[in-house]
Structure 1
């Protein structure tokens, strides 16, 4: 390969990296590789380019991070304190919402009945609606059981908000104990479930068109 060809390839690579950089900086939400592929042309290794760009931003004040299947620029973790400011939540999550979100995160895909079984109380539809409006929970599909209940899972926005690359980065049993979120007097054989992070599990069917409306009846939170 001639020096001129090397220079041409290098120019194309730099252009592609600049395009990805611009798209990611301009987006308010994390972007998937497929979202950016159309800006680069056919046959471009977008995943490889993203890894290259991620390496280039290592050690800087802003890092390129992965959130599930999506990518975003975020302030370096060790500099987050510089940008932190006091913020007042206009509608903080209730204990019921926090418990529901935690159960979905660790047990997904989970149906409403399964969430209630873990919590020990009924879960109002309003709680699930609140979590979906926040963009942290989504309807995944329908369980292949009588009644075909809706299954719920977390979103890339959930990963982004809590600084997780994948669901495998959720705190484990020892971390939860260390943070004081679990009692020290727990059964010795207690295990944290492994959440499913795929599109649909073998016991799930795709959502019905009617699910875009109101898939489950309204109940009061108990």
Structure 2
């Protein structure tokens, strides 16, 4: 298959897809074998071709996807009167802590925030598909260890957690996650500058891998 035809098929499939598509998914479009290198090169060319359009092609945690650019949101929102859910400060703070400190127990989140984390806060994040229990800490009661999901990465246009800024400042860490959520969801109940002083400044560790279950023992904390 010639390169132009390859790009056309990939572009069409991705525009019609309801979910991100992996390289293996895209290979099923063709009878002949196409190398990963050729497929990736074609996808990058398609991505470049859409650089000045209202849609963009992104590589996410679970594959490639076309999505509208942020600048188009104010226009597209007029087509859908339903407003996105509004998240409280508590929800945003909890999400920021999990994103930067995962895997983390509920008790550790409460120690960092200085207040009790209600079950409703965790439920909102779980129902949204952004956090999940990836294991249990080997301590009294074996509390659940929370981590972000691949859906969280997809929705915030991230491929890996390492794409979150490596910031030492607690305020900047929390604001980084809040800003991405606000951009994704639109009009939110909490502003970026409200989400401050919620991540323990004693550590500047890198975000854990999204497959946090493989490293639970190495990431366990002693302050539960």
Query: Does TM, scored on the shorter chain, surpass 0.5?
Result: yes
Aligned in 2, Cα 1:47/1:20: closer, same or farther, shift over 3 Å?
farther
| Whole-angstrom distance in 2 between the partners of 1:168 and 1:137 | 17
TM-score (norm 2): 0.66
1:28 maps onto 2:18 in alignment: yes
1:116-142 CA distance string (max 9 Å, x none): 221122222222121111122223233
User: Larger C-alpha radius of gyration, 1 or 2?
Assistant: 1
Q: Secondary structure at the match of 1:201?
A: helix
Q: What stretches of structure 2 of length at least 5 have no aligned partner?
A: 176-191, 218-224
Residue in 1 aligned with 2:75?
83
Residue in 2 aligned with 1:194?
206
Aligned in 2, Cα 1:191/1:80: closer, same or farther, shift over 3 Å?
farther
Q: Which of 25, 30, 49 is the equivalent residue of 2:39? A: 49
Count residues in correspondence. 190
Q: Secondary structure at the match of 1:64?
A: strand
1:150 maps onto 2:144 in alignment: yes
| Whole-angstrom distance in 1 between the partners of 2:210 and 2:152 | 15
What is the alpha-carbon root mean square deviation over aligned residues?
3.5
| Whole-angstrom distance in 2 between the partners of 1:38 and 1:64 | 19
TM-score (norm 1): 0.66
Q: What stretches of structure 1 of length at least 5 have no aligned partner?
A: 1-8, 205-222
Alpha-carbon shift at residue 48 of structure 1 (Å): 4.6
Residue in 2 aligned with 1:4?
none
Q: Secondary structure at the match of 1:141?
A: strand
Residue in 1 aligned with 2:180?
none
Aligned in 2, Cα 1:97/1:48: closer, same or farther, shift over 3 Å?
farther
Residue in 2 aligned with 1:167?
161
Q: Secondary structure at the match of 1:53?
A: helix
| Whole-angstrom distance in 2 between the partners of 1:124 and 1:42 | 54
Quick one: higher RCO (CA 8 Å, sep 6+), 1 or 2? 2
- As a proportion of its length, which structure holds more helix? 2
Alpha-carbon shift at residue 34 of structure 1 (Å): 3.9
Contact between 2:23 and 2:39, CA under 8 Å: does it hold in 1?
A: no
Aligned in 2, Cα 1:94/1:182: closer, same or farther, shift over 3 Å?
closer
Q: Secondary structure at the match of 2:214?
A: coil
Q: Which of 155, 176, 181 is the equivalent residue of 2:172? A: 176
Residue in 2 aligned with 1:214?
none
Which of 159-168 and 101-110 deviates more?
159-168
